[in-house]
């Protein structure tokens, strides 16, 4: 006969202290991830919530399984009910002053590249949409002032409205598309009219997009940066606390040269690089099922190894991605079961994972774990 006296809150918590978050390297009880614990010794039942650091956690199933196994081993337990939940936490350290934070936003993630034409906006759009599909509250800021393509790629038909805020004066209310709040210079220009601005004007518009937009509560604000290492990048670093940057490249050397410069630029402004995305990694022929490396092989992987960063994804060159962007239906929505859509979903989980690690461990890029099947 089982010893029912050993089943209580203390014995359950003691068991759960053996379960570690694989990324944060601490037990779930210490991390305050165990909530609403209820124990009935008479019925042999235990119920509790596990509050993860992101709804896009790629280790959700493992953590739930570890918790169930640990609690089931406690004497007297016959039934275990676990509710998996998430609470995105703000980064706890960094060089930026807390006063610069945008109220309600937990993480600001810049998607950047050294040069144009590598699919940076495509990655930003699908990353934001994939995070929303995982249950996160997401915003997408199109900071590519000279080439604002995000409204087209997200299929946004509504323009932002203006509202009077008691503290900030006039603010923009961003439209929502596919579960993502979107703000872009493309809403403020007419047709094919170019933006011909100097540095101070760029700084002003980035400031407005950050602090004069009523973003509300967001887990992640994804920022689609312009290519290069210019005024917009510096303004963003000065104006808001950026959690980290995702660098997008193609495998070819001319792209890698510029991405290396972008890495060192983020290093100088003390924004950690979360990892590398190798886009247009290969083309898979529909007739012979052979992979063709049109832009070289493993350039992004080599770059990640050089800078000791995670290779977050190797994304193929496929027609569906281009079609989704032109139609305003990102591939994660348009073809959700396609291999490239699943790769974007995996990328979203990896980026959320790195944001959680930075939130707990600081901003040193060397502390980022190597994750994914490409390492």
Are 201 and 168 spatial neighbours (Cβ–Cβ below 8 Å)?
no
pLDDT at 46: 97
**CB environment 286-322: b (16+ within 10 A), e (fewer):** eeeeeeeeebbebbbbbbbeebebbbbbbbbbbeebe
* Three-state SS annotation for 112-162: ECCCCCCCHHHHHHHHHHHHHHCCCCEEEEECCCCCCCHHHHHCCCCCCEE
Cα separation of 333 and 324, whole Å? Answer: 8
pLDDT at 153: 95
pLDDT along the chain (375 residues), means of 10: 67 96 92 95 95 93 96 95 90 51 90 87 96 96 85 92 84 94 83 57 81 93 85 82 92 86 89 93 71 70 90 91 93 94 96 90 43 31
pLDDT at 207: 84
C-alpha separations of 22 from 19, 297, 313, 321, 357 in Å: 9, 31, 20, 33, 10
Same fold, 4-86 and 98-367: no
Q: What is the β-pairing status of strands 311-314 and 105-112?
A: unpaired
pLDDT at 205: 81
| 38 bridge partner residues | 47
Q: Report domain extents, the chain.
A: 4-86, 98-367
pLDDT at 146: 76
Any idea which architecture 4-86 has in CATH?
A: 2-Layer Sandwich (3.30)
pLDDT at 300: 81
Tokens of 266: 């983020």
Q: What is the CATH number of domain 98-367?
A: 3.40.50.300
Cα separation of 73 and 192, whole Å? Answer: 66
pTM over 0.95: no
| 111 bridge partner residues | 224, 246
Cα separation of 101 and 190, whole Å? Answer: 31
Cα separation of 24 and 82, whole Å? Answer: 21
DSSP state of 286: T
DSSP state of 369: P
pLDDT at 372: 32
């Amino acid at each position: 006969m089982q010893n029912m006296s050993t089943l209580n809150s203390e014995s359950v918590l003691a068991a759960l202290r053996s379960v570690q978050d694989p990324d944060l390297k601490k037990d779930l009880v210490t991390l305050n991830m165990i909530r609403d614990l209820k124990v009935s010794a008479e019925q042999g039942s235990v119920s509790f919530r596990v509050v993860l650091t992101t709804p896009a956690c790629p280790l959700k199933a493992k953590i739930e399984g570890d918790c169930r196994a640990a609690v089931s081993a406690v004497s007297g337990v016959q039934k275990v009910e676990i509710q998996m939940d998430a609470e995105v936490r703000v980064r706890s350290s960094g060089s930026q002053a807390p006063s610069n934070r945008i109220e309600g936003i937990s993480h600001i993630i810049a998607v950047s590249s050294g040069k144009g034409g590598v699919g940076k906006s495509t990655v930003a759009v699908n990353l934001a949409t994939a995070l929303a599909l995982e249950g996160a509250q997401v915003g997408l800021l199109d900071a590519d002032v000279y080439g604002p393509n995000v409204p087209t790629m997200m299929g946004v038909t509504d323009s932002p409205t203006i509202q009077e805020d008691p503290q900030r004066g006039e603010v923009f209310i961003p439209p929502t598309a596919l579960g993502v709040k979107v703000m872009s210079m493309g809403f403020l220009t007419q047709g094919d009219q170019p933006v011909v601005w100097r540095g101070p004007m760029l700084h002003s518009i980035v400031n407005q997009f950050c602090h004069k937009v009523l973003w509300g509560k967001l887990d992640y604000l994804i920022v689609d940066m312009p290519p290069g290492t210019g005024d917009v990048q510096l303004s963003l670093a000065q104006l808001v606390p950026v959690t980290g940057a995702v660098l997008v490249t193609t495998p070819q050397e001319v792209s890698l040269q510029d991405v290396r410069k972008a890495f060192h630029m983020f290093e100088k402004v003390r924004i950690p690089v979360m990892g590398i995305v190798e886009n247009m990694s290969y083309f898979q022929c529909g007739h012979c099922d052979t992979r063709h490396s049109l832009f070289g092989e493993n350039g992004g992987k080599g770059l990640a190894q050089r800078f000791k960063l995670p290779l977050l994804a190797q994304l193929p060159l496929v027609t569906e991605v281009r079609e989704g962007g032109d139609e305003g239906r990102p591939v994660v929505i348009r073809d959700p079961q396609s291999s490239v859509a699943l790769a974007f979903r995996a990328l979203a989980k990896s980026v959320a994972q790195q944001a959680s690690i930075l939130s707990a461990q600081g901003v040193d890029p060397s502390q980022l774990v190597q994750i994914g099947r490409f390492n």
